[in-house]
Structure 1
Amino acid sequence: MSEPSSSPTAARPQSTSADGWRPDLLGPGFEQLTLPLGTDEEGDVVATLVRYTPGFRWRLRRGAASGADVLYVHGWSDYFFNPEQARFWAEAGARFHALDLRKYGRSLRPGQTAGFVTDLAAYDADLEAALEAMGHGRGEASARPLILVGHSTGGLTLSLWASRNRGRASALVLNSPWLEFQLSQAGRQALAPVIGWGARVNPLGPMPNVDLGFYTRAVSTRFGGEWDYSPEWRPERGFTTHPAWLTAVLAGHAAVAAGIDVGSPALTLLSARSTLLPRWDEAMRTSDSVLVVDEIAERATRLGPDIAVSRIDGALHDVFLSREPARTAAYAAITRWLRGYAPGR
């Protein structure tokens, strides 16, 4: 699907409102807000909140998420570029926001190590800044239910955050959350000490790139996919990975494997099948070529007592970037789930 250009080099309107919001690169209806997070050894650190502000007629919609606020968080080597998802939530009656985490997408600054953290809890600051801007800050009493939506690593990050902040979110929708390592729990447990040693000796040492670009080939219009996005913010073979970052992710996987409670009902969307091969296969256009979905489905049951899993035939790793029939099925699954749960009604 070709959408408005989301290249970081595209011309950006400079007008800024009194409260800091300015037009976003996704075009009419989208605005962004820079959230300062202090500094680290690489300079100023920020997150960026994007909101969708449709016309007045959209605000009168009474759908399955009426009266709710939605916060979406992207995955690894990624950022928010999907206007269709924003329009779905607006049509469902929600106010939609998306967060580009520190050192990703709109928040990535020159000289920074893309996506690098040593603890996924570091993103608590990003999330708190976004929630405060949305009216859901710590200690604030909002009459609007909060729905958290996370993809891949973002799904893992939000699940861990929700388990530490039970009661603040009314629902979680997880889009192929990265809840377990691709080599399974046994592989993770065997690898973790080696990666942990590397994290101590050389935390920023580059690791071998195992991304062969197959997922990009299934998604990007440059290779026969349907989506246009910035190759600078979402590289063909992903960002360089580092031992300290992978150690943080493995720690998150271990926490989920031991069992957590996200404190609210959660829906996990997954492809019906995985295609993990060392060579390109056309089946990768209609399956998850990143995660072992059967293992993720099992891990999703460790997130709490009220968990649903929906398997979408023909879905990619990012279910919302799949071909139109799978996207439609995914959005329909969310609608059915919300109508049965209806947070805040």
Structure 2
Amino acid sequence: MKDILFFLLFTSTLLFSNAQFQEHKIDVSNYEATLTYQTVKSSKKAILYIHGFNDYFFNTQFAQKFLDQGYAFYALDLHGYGRNLKSKERVFSFKDIQEFDDEITQAITFIKNQGHTNITLYGYSQGGLIATLYANKYRNIDQLILDSAFFDFAFSPFLESYVLPLVAKVGKYFPNLFLPSSAPNVFGQTLHKDFNGEWDFDMNLKYTTTNAPIYFEWIHAIYSAQQQLHAGLDLQIPVLSLYSDKSYNEQSDVKYHHISDLVLDVNDIETYSKKLNQDASLTTLTPIKDGMHGVTFSKPKVRQEAYRVIFNWLQTQN
């Protein structure tokens, strides 16, 4: 009997893991977003993942972890990103973070129409900032998970106090100005298997050889959103904020590149994660030892610990 049960479990797991992701296009005004998803039969629980800057959903291993735990998995490629990149659009740029509200709302409506009643929004890096302000405004999700959330720029105090506000103001009136870069994308190359990483993704959708252009309008949009967050929010839902236990910059010794956050200052993430709920007990802060920017991109043992934290936390919420 045990052998039969094991065979059935193994077979169903194999079939499940090989199931294909589906796509659903979301039309928003002059934009298009793409929802990539895989459902779990009879499951009421769903994850909605929002990617970061210069990014798109590609990590099917990440998705499979949630599917294996009985969560339907949905990932939203925002307009101007990933599967929606079009030559007529400025890549990875936007005027206001609220531009994404409609496509996120449509994605959540689509998820609920599939029969899922408990939705966890999961935001990575810039997606963490977008997800946080969305959750504060709409109150239509049940939990929020943040991974290396982009809650502040990792600049010096002088740059953050004087230069950044000026550049952000310029971006409001001169949105087409941008900072081109032919420098290598060190963090991207830390991830991709063709360079120093283990992950495979389309480098036409996630710029890796060089950095992505930075538009002044994007700086204005991000800075404005961060200022709103810095003033304090009250999401009134459980939040799990994950981040590395240390930061190094891209010019640091390569030995630190896979054991730290190369993009953001983790102290900023921790500081501003405390401003998400007036009831502090609703927010759980968890630094992950030797985590990368995106703790589930970290070395296998490190991301295994991150997944342990995530699913233990989710279990306490359900």
Question: TM-score over 0.5 for the alignment?
Answer: yes
Report the CA distance shift for 1:240/1:154 in structure 2 as closer, same or farther (over 3 A): same
Taking structure 2 as the reference length, the TM-score comes to 0.87
Across the two proteins, how many residue pairs are aligned to each other?
A: 298
Amino acid in structure 2 at the alignment position of 1:336:
N
Q: Match of 1:133?
A: 110
Instruction: Give the whole-Å Cα distance in 1 for the aligned partners of 2:233 and 2:158.
Output: 19
1:230 matched to 2:207: no
Shift of 1:87: 1.0
Q: Match of 1:16?
A: none
Listed as ranges, the gaps of 5+ residues in structure 2 are 1-16
Instruction: Give the whole-Å Cα distance in 1 for the aligned partners of 2:258 and 2:186.
Output: 9
Instruction: Give the whole-Å Cα distance in 1 for the aligned partners of 2:91 and 2:313.
Output: 35
Q: SS of the residue aligned with 2:86?
A: coil
1:205 matched to 2:205: no
Q: SS of the residue aligned with 1:173?
A: strand
Shift of 1:86: 1.1
| 1:119-147 deviation digits (Å, cap 9, x = unpaired) | 0011001101211221269xxxx761110
Instruction: Tell whether the 8 Å contact from 1:162 to 1:169 is kept in structure 2 after alignment.
Output: yes
Instruction: Give the whole-Å Cα distance in 2 for the aligned partners of 1:52 and 1:259.
Output: 35
Q: SS of the residue aligned with 2:194?
A: helix
Shift of 1:92: 1.6
Instruction: Give the whole-Å Cα distance in 1 for the aligned partners of 2:172 and 2:274.
Output: 33
Instruction: Tell whether the 8 Å contact from 1:149 to 1:173 is kept in structure 2 after alignment.
Output: yes
Amino acid in structure 2 at the alignment position of 1:179:
F
Taking structure 1 as the reference length, the TM-score comes to 0.81
Give the counterpart of 1:330 among 257, 282, 306: 306
In the TM superposition, 1:62-73 aligns within 5 A as 67-73=44-50
Give the counterpart of 1:161 among 134, 140, 148: 134
Task: Say what the alpha-carbon RMSD is for the aligned residues.
Answer: 2.2
Shift of 1:103: 0.8
Q: Match of 2:21?
A: 30
Instruction: Tell whether the 8 Å contact from 2:176 to 2:215 is kept in structure 1 after alignment.
Output: yes
Q: Specify which structure has the higher proportion of helix.
A: 2
Q: Match of 1:221?
A: 193
| Between 94-103 and 302-311, the greater mean CA deviation after superposition | 302-311
Report the CA distance shift for 1:251/1:186 in structure 2 as closer, same or farther (over 3 A): farther
Shift of 1:323: 1.3
Instruction: Give the whole-Å Cα distance in 2 for the aligned partners of 1:195 and 1:136.
Output: 43
Report the CA distance shift for 1:327/1:143 in structure 2 as closer, same or farther (over 3 A): closer
Instruction: Give the whole-Å Cα distance in 2 for the aligned partners of 1:148 and 1:277.
Output: 29
Shift of 1:75: 0.3
Report the CA distance shift for 1:277/1:30 in structure 2 as closer, same or farther (over 3 A): closer
1:190 matched to 2:162: yes
Q: Match of 1:97?
A: 74
Q: Match of 2:117?
A: 144
Give the counterpart of 1:255 among 217, 222, 228: 228
Shift of 1:268: 0.7
Instruction: Give the whole-Å Cα distance in 1 for the aligned partners of 2:89 and 2:285.
Output: 37
Q: SS of the residue aligned with 2:179?
A: coil
Amino acid in structure 2 at the alignment position of 1:50:
T
Shift of 1:322: 1.2
Listed as ranges, the gaps of 5+ residues in structure 1 are 1-25, 40-44, 61-65
Give the counterpart of 2:238 among 241, 259, 265: 265
Shift of 1:340: 2.1
Q: Match of 1:320?
A: 296
Give % identity: 26
Q: SS of the residue aligned with 1:156?
A: helix
Report the CA distance shift for 1:322/1:214 in structure 2 as closer, same or farther (over 3 A): same
Instruction: Give the whole-Å Cα distance in 2 for the aligned partners of 1:299 and 1:184.
Output: 17
Instruction: Give the whole-Å Cα distance in 2 for the aligned partners of 1:209 and 1:301.
Output: 34
Report the CA distance shift for 1:186/1:159 in structure 2 as closer, same or farther (over 3 A): farther
Q: SS of the residue aligned with 1:46?
A: strand
Instruction: Tell whether the 8 Å contact from 2:172 to 2:220 is kept in structure 1 after alignment.
Output: no
Report the CA distance shift for 1:74/1:294 in structure 2 as closer, same or farther (over 3 A): same
Q: Match of 2:249?
A: 276
Q: Match of 1:47?
A: 33
Report the CA distance shift for 1:266/1:186 in structure 2 as closer, same or farther (over 3 A): farther
Shift of 1:218: 1.4
| 1:180-229 deviation digits (Å, cap 9, x = unpaired) | 12126764342343113421442111125497422122110011210000
Q: Match of 2:258?
A: 285
